[in-house]
Amino acid sequence: MQQYEFDIDPACGKQRLDVFLAEAMDDLTRSYIQKLIEAEQVTVNGAPAKAHYKLKAGDRVDLAVPDPEPLEVQPEAIPLNIVHEDDCLIVVDKPPGMVVHPAPGHAGGTLVNALLYHCKDLAGIGGVERPGIVHRLDKDTSGLIVAAKTEACMQSLTLQFKERDIQKVYLALAKGTFTPQNGVIDAPIGRHKTHRKKMSTRAPAGREATTRYEVIRQCDGFAYVRLFPKTGRTHQLRVHLASLGHPILGDRLYGGTLEPGLPQMSRQALHAHRLELTHPATGDVLQLESPLPSDMKAALPTAPNPKIL
């Protein structure tokens, strides 16, 4: 059983309990959250509450999530945007909204289900529930993700990520006016002391985390930013930008709530744009890119010769 605690701040006040938890627990569906509420696995201020309960500032929400039973992950014929594939690995351009691997409330429809259907011999590579997966993207982050198709490739890619030899570049739309427009965020990241689904740069036992950023284009009230993570901590880019006072647009968990005059994003405006790695089989450098997705591109105002990737 996993326990989560949430202290409700004014920004989350008046939000429905089930809606708040579905946004805070991005790997659980709202329907699964509602089942947990019905089973009294969710309490507000120590007492069971209804899904439609409107939260108030100062409320304390406790959530108990049962340990998942081992899943027998089934192949599913889900279309994939394949950027590169060979006998060793596959690189997919993941759409926003797709969960990477099965979890409670997401037994199907995941990237793993799709990969098992597309790659007939993938099962068992690196684990039953996460075959071939060596890194992950948040549900609402779009872009490039690589999966191994052999055990040897899995070991090589895992080591490359561990040694920070794989280069990643992200694109984001973030609130505010950046000063300076280039910089390095060097701030350890750890689990938030009260909000167990959030990460924080103020955690007492944070781990090293470094992100370089550069503004591609400063817009009115927000910026189009390129991000170069040196480390790969959970929610690193979202947390680091929020720590500067520039949360990613649409990222409700870290303060990127929608405001009048700003683009109305239905998800966090973060995209895994570029991936560079050493091919485990050939030793060649593999460089892959994914263009800025349509929802983020549409959020940028038109201008003469706009610099849009």
Q: Is 11 helix (H, G, I), strand (E, B) or coil?
A: helix
User: Parallel, antiparallel, or unpaired for β 199-200 and 82-85?
Assistant: unpaired
Give CA–CA dist 200/65, Å, rounded: 22
Give CA–CA dist 74/116, Å, rounded: 7
Tokens of 189: 């990241």
Establish whether the linkage from the previous residue to 304 is cis, with ω within 30° of 0. Answer: no
Q: Which is nearest to 133 in space by CA: 112, 104, 156?
A: 112
Give CA–CA dist 99/109, Å, rounded: 8
Q: Which residues of 274-300 are buried (b: 16+ CB within 10 A; e: fewer)?
A: bbebebbeeeeebeeebebbebbeebb
Residues belonging to the active site = 138
Tokens of 213: 């950023």
Contact 212, 163 (CB under 8 A): no
